[in-house]
Amino acid sequence: MASPGASSLPSTRSTRRRTPAAVSNSGVLPPDLLFDVLLRIQAKELCRLRAVCRSWRSLSSNRLFIRAHAARHRSPLLLAKFRDDDAHVHVVDLSGDTVKLLAGAGGDHQLLCTSLDLACLGTRSNSCRVLNPATGAVCALPKYPALGDPSRPELYKPGTFYAFGQVPSTGEYKVLRMFNRSENRSFGGEQLFDVFTINSGASNARWRVLSRDYFVEAESAVVVDGAVYFLMNGRHYPNAISSGIPPDYIASLDIRTEQWRRDLQGPISGNLDMEHADDRKEYRYLWHQLSLGELEGSLVLANHRSCQFVLDIWFLTDFHSGLWVKKYSIKTESIVQSLSDDYRVKPLLVLDDGRLLIFLPLTGQLLICDPEANTYTSVEMRQLDSIAVYAGRCHFISVIQNSYSDFGGAGVDLSVLIGFS
């Protein structure tokens, strides 16, 4: 399912030489020139041009043209679940347009915030599905607890969370399930973990038990380069400050070995002086204004200092030395009213022009931020329930297929879509 790299896609020049002779042009433009002209047009507009004549429709449906178009137009695609649509996952572009509609979401399922060519949706009541946006296939994971552990509590009660990632060395996809045991949680309860490998064969299609000594913030999970990272769960402890666990303390799990790694100290709390009243206040606020994300292949810690109207984004540059670098410090006066009492901001993507794509979970807004100008532009779409970055490619093919009934023309073989997904 892995997407082919850019090197596997033909360049415009090589593709022009290989343009099939069968694709002829009865108009004014020679076929090679028409190829170059249509190649520069965005997918949505190109679909309308397919209705101009048979030769244009034939050229735009050709496999070589589709390869070249995909290589040239690499605009990001997102997976979105909207609050007014319980049944579907939408593949959307940055203009807010749906380019493909996928069934099988389920009413209370939420998308995990990933950056893969598969999607994972889960509920707090122990239901999890893995979705292939290219084919529409849905895999429902079993609900039963890990085998060989009769002490496990019933997992059908609310309190289940998930993380989803890929092992870089093997390409395997794994789901991590976290369940909060409710008994005496405020006084040292238990948090339980299972892991499940997708497409591991019938003999291995089961959850496997992991162990952990203390609580993590399950909803903060992010997977970066084969490791799951979590913020510590300060709300589990009656007094976060006296617990001795800093708000920016991070736990991590290697999903290949399924072993917990050493914990990681964040870049913020170590610089605060607990003898100083303002620092103690800032420390207390940290529990509510931190979020983890992935940008440019690195783990990032976002800290929205709402009182100062500043969003700081720290990049982890070396796990072993615990080295962090603050690459962004962005003013947020223009969006602070939208955040209400929830200060968390979720960074999603760095665009080619250096702008940032960020998500506001409380309001369901998607914003494009210019960090140099400290400006924010809202992506015009319905209110989001959850969102993920889609690493596959199905934009041009999907637009053609979705526009088939409107503009007519020959269908596109689904194998083409699967080949480029």
Q: Where is pLDDT greater, at 140 or 214?
A: 140
Nearest by Cα to 173 from 209, 200, 203: 200
- 304 sits in which H/E element: strand 298-305
Q: Which residues of 388-401 are buried (b: 16+ CB within 10 A; e: fewer)?
A: bbbbbbbbbbbbbb
Whether the predicted pLDDT of 47 surpasses 80: no
Q: Pairing between strand 365-370 and 138-140?
A: unpaired
Mean pLDDT, the chain, rounded, equals: 78
Rg (CA), the chain: 24
Q: pTM of this prediction?
A: 0.76
User: Residues 239-264: pLDDT tens digits?
Assistant: 445 556 788 999 999 999 999 999 99
Confidence grade of residue 277 (pLDDT, cut at 50, 70, 90):
low
Can you tell me the distance from the alpha carbon of 241 to that of 396, in angstroms, rounded to the nearest whole number?
A: 52
User: Residues 59-117: pLDDT tens digits?
Assistant: 877 778 877 776 676 678 999 999 999 899 999 988 888 888 998 787 789 999 999 99
Can you tell me the distance from the alpha carbon of 104 to that of 137, in angstroms, rounded to the nearest whole number?
A: 9
Q: Domain 77-390: give its CATH architecture.
A: 6 Propeller (2.120)
Instruction: Quote the tokens at residue 131.
Output: 């979705």
Question: Which whole number is the average pLDDT over 184-188?
Answer: 46
Residue 314 · residue 324 · CB < 8 Å:
yes
Lay out the sheet containing 98-103: strands in order across: 98-103, 88-93, 77-82, 384-390, 115-116
Confidence grade of residue 388 (pLDDT, cut at 50, 70, 90):
very high
Instruction: Quote the tokens at residue 417.
Output: 């879509």
Domain ranges of the chain: 6-72+395-419, 77-390
Question: Which whole number is the average pLDDT over 343-372?
Answer: 91
pLDDT given for residue 24 in this prediction: 47
Q: Which of 11-15, 142-146, 210-214 has the lowest mean pLDDT?
A: 11-15
- Of the ranges 17-21, 30-34, 183-187, which is most confident? 30-34
pLDDT given for residue 28 in this prediction: 65
User: Residues 287-345: pLDDT tens digits?
Assistant: 788 999 999 999 999 999 877 889 999 999 999 999 999 999 999 887 766 555 556 78
Beta bridge partner(s), residue 179? 160, 192
Cβ within 8 Å of residue 179, ≥6 positions away: 126, 153, 155, 159, 160, 161, 191, 192, 193, 194
Q: Which of 226-240, 248-262, 368-382 has the lowest mean pLDDT?
A: 226-240
